[in-house]
Every structure is written in structure tokens, then in C-alpha cells.
Structure 1
């Protein structure tokens, strides 16, 4: 076998590998349209992807209020440490609705120390009492509700997250009460 043929074969295999990997790239999830009332008030964190920032956090919540401009949202995320009556831990950030005026579903929040998260609303219940958001790569997912759901309702929420393509076995459900 000539070295020229070997080089062509290696380059061809490498190209096939690159093309094959490119087709495995996950497309960004589809968002749903939300109204301006979505970013008002307090949402309880019912389910989430575990991460270092939330270790030991229970009774989590996000409170949204209007910012200085129409596309700005002031965000306070909080939780109790270890138990629902534990010490309150909060962090505040400034959110910007990235797709303001179209779906209003893509928000980027900047927290202190240059921490930034993208939250995309992937599902909102017809009665607007709960929703699912994730980052664009679907590595982090959150289920929020205005109230603590029953076990049956929680099961529906988790099923919906699964239908969106998220591996729900990764979710944790911190105590709320």
C-alpha cells in the first residue's frame, strides 16, 4: 500500500469521523411564548439538575420583578440551607430577555462574580401555574411552580420534562415545606 493511499485513507476516516460527530450535535431546544406576567412574582423550585451552587439547598425559589427597561428582569434566587427552616441564602442578578417582543422565553441572568446563566422556557402549563426551563444545551433543567404540587401533579411535570428530551433520572426534588 502506498503512503499516499494510506494518507488518503486516514484523512477520509478522519473526515467521516468529524462529519459523524457533527450530526450528533444536539439542536437547541424549542422555546414557548410567554407573556410579560411570567417574569413577575415568586416561583418555587420544584425540581432541578444537581449542581455545586445548590448543594444543601432546599425550599428554593426565584423571584422576578420588573427592571428599568422593558426587557430587564431583576432576579432573586434563594433557598434554605439543609432544612426548610434553615438559614436563608440568596443571590441577586440582573436578567435580560434575549428575545424580547417575540417569544420572551430566553433570559440571560448575570449574577455577581461574572456568573451567567441562560434560562429558556421550554414549557408553560396552560393554566400558567408551572413551567420548565433549561439552558440551551439541556444540561441544566428546572421545574418551577407557583405552589407546591401534589405527588400526582409532580409526576405530570416530570413526564413533561422527559417528553422535552431531558433525562429526568438526573433531576433532584428538594424539600419545599
Structure 2
């Protein structure tokens, strides 16, 4: 757990450096329309952009539960070390829907030590069984599903991420 918190702290510090980049600003990605039911229950992390803070993490997941305020969501992120039967690692945060009156697709999560990440839902599948999320600058992307997908379903998910403009060759797909 300490390693995970240290990793998140370092990642947050490094992400702050990105605020000072020089050059043309990249357009923000369009977000999907979603609703409060999206932020309930367990989602499996099917694909993700590799980050050193998730090195060795497999069988990743996020559990959402209602918070104390209408625009608040409690977030628990977790994974297993090395194998799907490995040691469980989790971290909890408090999420705030920053667009709660419109799309409900932008979630800012504050983790311990004032570490903050922004997660934007870019796409919801028509049956709401999976979605694609990104940070606002599309450096990091995640594919989540309620269940482990078949190979054909996974191919559709990856194709959709590519259609949204993400370089899918960067994605990794941890074991379940």
C-alpha cells in the first residue's frame, strides 16, 4: 500500500510538469452522456495505458459507491500483484462529478496525499456494459467492462478507442 501511495504521489508530481509544456494546445476530447448509475458497482480494468505505478498490477478494478453529496462518488481502485490470485492492493478516493448538471462524464478523484486525477468518460457502449475513459489530454486511456470480454468484444473495444483518436498500440491488457 505504501508503494502504491508513493507511486501515486510521484505520478501526480510528474503530471504537474506537463502543465508547463510549450506548444499548441491539444483540443479536449468530447465526452459521452452518462448518468449516476454509471458510478455504481464494480468495473473491471480491461485495458490501460502503461504507467509505472501499475507495473505488476493485474486483474484491476474500480468500485464506485454513492458519496454524501449529489455530485460525489466514493472510488476504490484495486489490483492484484503479479497474478489474478496475487496480493490485493487498493487505494480509495473521493470523486466529484465536475459536470454533474450536464453530461456527468467528468470525474475528478482525490486520493490520499492530495493526489488528484481527472477521468473523463469518452464512450459508453449502447448496452452500458463497457466504457472508455481518458484523462483530459488523452495521455492515459482506460477500457472498463462489467465482465471480462471475449476476444471479439475486446477487438470492438480497442477499435472504438482507436476511432476516438487514441494510439491503441500503447495499450496493455492485464490478466484476469
Shift of 1:173: 0.1
Matched, 1:152 2:152: yes
Instruction: Write out the 4+ residue segments of structure 1 that deviate beyond 3 Å after TM superposition.
Output: none
Q: Which residue is equivalent to 2:164?
A: 164
> What is the TM-score of this pair, normalised by structure 1?
0.86
Local SS of the residue matching 2:62: strand
Shift of 1:52: 1.6
Shift of 1:26: 1.4
Shift of 1:51: 0.5
Aligned CA RMSD, in angstroms, stands at: 0.7
Could you list the runs of 5+ residues in structure 1 that have no partner in the other structure? Answer: 1-20
Q: Which residue is equivalent to 1:105?
A: 105
Matched, 1:68 2:60: no
Counterparts of residues 4-153 of structure 1 (less than 5 Å): 21-22=23-24, 25-153=25-153
Could you list the runs of 5+ residues in structure 2 that have no partner in the other structure? Answer: 1-22
